[in-house]
Amino acid sequence: MNGRPESLAKPGSLTKDAPLVRRHRLSTRLWHWSNALVLLVMLMSGLMIFNAHPRLYWGEYGANFDPAWLKISSARIGAREFGYLQIGSWRIETTGVLGLWHDAQGHLQRRAFPYWATLPSRYSLAGARIWHLAFAWLLAGGLTLYLGWSLVNRHLQRDIHMTRREWRPANVWRDIVDHARLRFPAGEASRHYSFLQKLAYAGVLFVALPLMIVTGLAMSPGTDAWAPIITEVFGGRQSARSVHFLCAFALVAFFVVHMVMVLLAGPINEVRAMITGRYRPRPGREDGV
Amino acid sequence: MKGTILTRRALIRGAGSVGGALMLSGCDALFDDPAFRNALEKGEDLHRITQRALGGAALAREYREADMSPQFRANGSRSVADAAYRQHLVQGFANWSLRVDGLVERPLEIPLEALRRLEQRRQITRHDCVEGWSAIGQWQGPRLASVLELARLSPQARYIVFHCADLYRGRPYYESIDLADAFHPQTILAWQMNGRPLEEAHGAPLRLRVERQLGYKHAKFVTRIEAVASLAGTYGGKGGYWEDNGAYAWYAGI
């Protein structure tokens, strides 16, 4: 966000709407869309890699004989076969989606994640690793460039940084209530991120994405030799693998909420702002509308 | 008017599944394109170069006995059908020997007993399978470097190829590493696991331990070690069974 108002309306044209303002910088827009694509590839190829061993453990080691805290599998009771997801001792049937499903050709498959969620769509651990490990460079490189550039152009300091005033419980609570009532800021206020928005974006930029990269590296036996701390801080390689998976689903949850908020806030205006950079502030009391 | 009534919901669902199918097949088609695939596979070189630059000769982590897996999963070939191998197994590998040849000045036939008499290294390390699981076990055997020094590598030798007694899905298993890993202190020819001679499922009588790489590099049932200048002339030319038959990376440090 630049925050500089700029009227793009033709002189003399009558419009009730507020004029378009510059919102997202080119660096933000470029990274946003390229990162969205990279994350999609990472997620889908990651789910295929998970399919090779659909169990998660805590600690340094973990294989079939060891207790898994999460498991996606299929089982048979009498003539009935079903897919299931098990977390601890809690189990839910997931036939058709997880563990047991039909592929595009109608063949029954007993893999964890279904073909439409994985990359490649047909089972291939080697193929998924080629995608995942090549795109990992784009993810890490893109994030590093974006964070570096956003420090230089002061995007982080101006738009993401949360001041002490914003951290005050009263402000935090008001933002939670506003979000719960789907009451979005209008006028001048709509040109800045709210507290929860900043928290979500900072969480993705400084916690979730770096954690994905670090836990990914923690699974590499080569990296583990020269930087054992990377694995040790998570309590072992299998713990790091679990955190990698949990973090991926935290990002999926972020994506879902992000989509809901874009739809509620006015998808055309929001998407236009992320493509062209121009945003129309929401009309509201402050503008006297 | 007669005809199909297209509800909005059906339209959205239809468009969604067509879009999804297009994207899926699009990615799969893209992956089959040799130029794109080649570009993606360049990631492997980047990993190898970066890891070597940052890691150098760093040692893999070693653990205490208390850290070991209660049960160590065996994967890949768990038994060998070859008749000569079965006979050696019955005889406790008393008449078995390891062949060392290729680009060496002194080709060798080393009996298992002689390998046991070489200076031994014992290490408790974590075995990371490409599938995602890990197991911690104790391994003992001579360093590969000791054996290569006995055979005296020719200056042209660049890679060490491990030929195995097993067929996996009907094809001979083999693996290869470069000299940086071959002379790494933790690279050993293990004949003992968890204090006992290797079981058949774990690659008796001899398996490679190359601790900074994934499990499929740790060739089991090793019968012959060959020094070569290039991997191009061996089987599919990509340096290993899974590299040739499954598009797995030759450098498996990640």
Instruction: Tell me which amino acid residue B93 is.
Output: F
Tens of pLDDT, residues A40-82: 999 999 999 999 999 999 999 999 999 999 999 999 999 999 9
% of chain A beyond a pLDDT of 90: 86
Task: Kindly give the pairing relationship between strand B196-197 and strand B192-193.
Answer: antiparallel
Confidence of residue A284 (pLDDT cuts 50, 70, 90): low
Identify from B59, B209, B254 which residue to disrupt to test chain A contact, counting A C-beta atoms within 10 A and taking the largest count: B254
Q: Do A221 and B129 touch (CB under 8 A)?
A: no
% of chain A beyond a pLDDT of 70: 92
Tens of pLDDT, residues A175-199: 999 999 988 888 888 888 999 999 9
Residue numbers in B near A129 (CB within 8 A): 130, 248-249
Residue in the block written with tokens 């079939």: A64
pLDDT at B107 over 70: yes
On the CB side of A123, CA atoms within 13 Å amount to 14
Residue numbers in B near A119 (CB within 8 A): 27
pLDDT at A143 over 70: yes
Q: Which of A120, A125, A223 sits opposite B254 (nearest CB)?
A: A223
pLDDT at A236 over 90: yes
CB A256 within 8 A of CB A77: no
Give the residues across from A74 on adjacent strands: A83
Q: What is the dihedral of CA A182, A186, A188, A189, to 10 degrees?
A: -20
pLDDT of residue A289: 38
Neighbours of A22 (CB within 10 A): 18
Residue numbers in B near A122 (CB within 8 A): 28
Q: Do A130 and B253 touch (CB under 8 A)?
A: no
Residue numbers in A near B54 (CB within 8 A): 223, 226-227
Q: Do A221 and B248 touch (CB under 8 A)?
A: no
- Mean pLDDT, range A162-186, rounded to an integer: 92
Identify from A56, A58, A60 which residue to disrupt to test chain B contact, counting B C-beta atoms within 10 A and taking the largest count: A60
Residue numbers in B near A53 (CB within 8 A): 129, 131-133
Q: Do A125 and B130 touch (CB under 8 A)?
A: yes
pLDDT of residue A190: 85
Neighbours of A43 (CB within 10 A): 18
Dist. CA A22–CA A2, nearest whole Å: 6
Q: Do B27 and A121 touch (CB under 8 A)?
A: yes
- Rounded to a whole number, what is the distance in Å from the CA of A255 to chain B's nearest CA? 18
Q: Do B40 and A49 touch (CB under 8 A)?
A: no
The gap from C-alpha B77 to its chain's centroid, in whole angstroms, comes to 12
pLDDT of residue A6: 44
Question: Which of 39-68 (A) contact B at CB < 8 A?
Answer: 41, 44, 49-50, 52-53, 55, 60-66
Residue numbers in A near B50 (CB within 8 A): none
- Mean pLDDT, range B55-74, rounded to an integer: 96
Neighbours of B84 (CB within 10 A): 11
- Rounded to a whole number, what is the distance in Å from the CA of A259 to chain B's nearest CA? 16
Confidence of residue A5 (pLDDT cuts 50, 70, 90): very low
Residue in the block written with tokens 């630059």: B53
Number of H helices, E strands in chain B: 7, 11
pLDDT at B153 over 60: yes
CB A262 within 8 A of CB A271: yes
CB A248 within 8 A of CB A46: yes
Q: Do B20 and A224 touch (CB under 8 A)?
A: no
**CB neighbour burial string for A167-194, b if at least 16 within 10 angstroms, e if fewer:** eeeeeeeebeeebeeeebbbbeebbebb
Going through chain B in order, the beta strands assigned E by DSSP cover 97-102, 108-111, 120-128, 134-142, 159-168, 171-178, 188-190, 192-193, 196-197, 207-209, 222-228
CA angle A107, A108, A113 (to 5 degrees): 110
Residue numbers in A near B247 (CB within 8 A): 124, 126-127, 130
Chain A CA closest to residue B69: A61
Dist. CA B179–CA A87, nearest whole Å: 44
Chain B CA closest to residue A129: B248
pLDDT of residue B15: 62
pTM exceeds cut of 0.80: yes
Identify from B134, B177, B218 which residue to disrupt to test chain A contact, counting A C-beta atoms within 10 A and taking the largest count: B134
Q: Mean pLDDT across chain A, nearest whole number?
A: 92
Question: Which of 111-140 (A) contact B at CB < 8 A?
Answer: 115-116, 119-122, 124-127, 129-131, 133-134, 136-137
CB B198 within 8 A of CB B207: yes
Residue numbers in A near B212 (CB within 8 A): 221-222, 224-225
